[in-house]
Chain A
């Protein structure tokens, strides 16, 4: 096998590898929506975040507008503090916007939904969303149902 053929074939091999990496990066993984740097941040405090994870989507009216950047525990207010990173284009959320934790489908992953309020001033970078609703914890729900049933009978 002369060296010219060998070199051409190895070149084709490298090209195929780059094509495979392109497919894996762009079509298979979530690399395209990985704009972690830009956008502005908002903070929301919840009583219970349930199964919310970092990089969970943040949606408004069902449309994804950002993702959860980090989750931490605030020992002073005894609440979970969630930092959301919102796309630059959506910077006009009123001050009384509420953030709730929903579940996608019945057993799907949890995400944060933002419901805009009616104030005229907008939330800026780093501000806190005051109205929050925690995730639905199944055990508490069952406990409430049992409690209300035994109380009613």
Chain B
């Protein structure tokens, strides 16, 4: 009985300790961002690794999510005789919520886990220690480019997800289900505000990019330097990033809308 309680307490204190380490790591990371000006090729390379490689899954998912939204939205709206408002339903759902959140989850699963595995492996094979021996700052050379790339790639991917989703909704709603194309776009244009909806969605995606990149890189750096440790760290990245994205989405939606 007391053993279980002790483990619970130890687990809680351990979690607090990790959170503190993660915050200190974040401060060091943010301080090292200034050196990226001289290392633009590193940043471009990481933008390719995080952004470009996630492009295919984001675009395909966006297309299918948009098409499903159009189908389900049509089924519900037709009962009220309001199927002309399909554009509004698809656009607002994607731009405000699904674009940032689903992109965040996909990014955490694809790019976040890749970042954690890569950095974890660098720690396990002592490459990070080797860099420090050579007086090369791993923050400037390894972590900062990945962080900035993830931070900027996620909003870009979210915007592409929403755009492709709306086009997919058009494809299903107008071509297949017979909604009038003029009504689809004109109702959407009057209901979707640029600053209220599109920009707020992008701000959400920026926040998600910040948090997902931070979690991914920290878990990689903080892992136990064995193969099991790297695997556990990768799993933790995906789980914590997903929870953080969903939790922050609720908070941000409550603040913004």
Contacts and interface: CB of A to CB of B under 8 A. Distances in A.
The 3 closest A-B pairs by CB, nearest first: A17-B156, A20-B163, A29-B194
A21 to B, nearest CB: 6
B41 A3 contact: yes
Contacts of A1: 48
Contacts of A28: 91, 95, 162-163, 166, 188-189, 192, 198
A53 B185 CA distance: 22
Interface string A27-40: 11111111000000
A89 interface: no
Q: Which of B55, B153, B167, B194 has the most CB of A within 10 A?
A: B194
B41 to A, nearest CB: 7
A31 B95 CA distance: 15
B156 A13 contact: yes
A30 B190 contact: yes
Contact of A23 (B51, B163, B193, B197): B163
Contacts of A120: none
B244 interface: no
Interface of B: 41, 44-45, 47-48, 51-52, 55, 91, 95, 153, 156, 159-160, 162-164, 166-167, 185, 188-190, 192-194, 197-198
A28 B169 CA distance: 12
Q: Which applies to chain A's interface (DSSP): helix, strand, loop or mixed? A: helix
A14 B152 CA distance: 10
A24 B95 contact: yes
Interface residues of A, number: 27
Interface of A: 1, 3, 6-7, 9-10, 12-14, 16-17, 19-21, 23-25, 27-34, 55, 57
12 contacts: A3-B41, A3-B45, A6-B45, A9-B52, A13-B153, A20-B162, A20-B164, A24-B198, A29-B189, A30-B190, A34-B194, A55-B193
B44 A10 contact: yes
Contacts of B91: 28
A24 B163 contact: yes
Given A28-B189, A29-B192, A13 B52 contact: yes
A57 B189 CA distance: 13
Given A17-B156, A30-B193, 16 more contacts: A6-B44, A10-B48, A13-B51, A17-B159, A19-B163, A20-B159, A20-B160, A23-B163, A23-B166, A24-B163, A28-B163, A28-B166, A28-B188, A28-B192, A29-B198, A31-B194
B48 A9 contact: yes
Given A7-B44, A10-B48, A28-B188, A16 B194 contact: no
Contacts of A3: 41, 45
Nearest to B196: A29
Nearest to B44: A10
B163 A10 contact: no
A16 B47 contact: no
A33 to B, nearest CB: 8
A16 B55 contact: yes
Contacts of B55: 13, 16
B202 to A, nearest CB: 9
A29 B197 contact: yes
A32 B185 CA distance: 13
B128 to A, nearest CB: 23
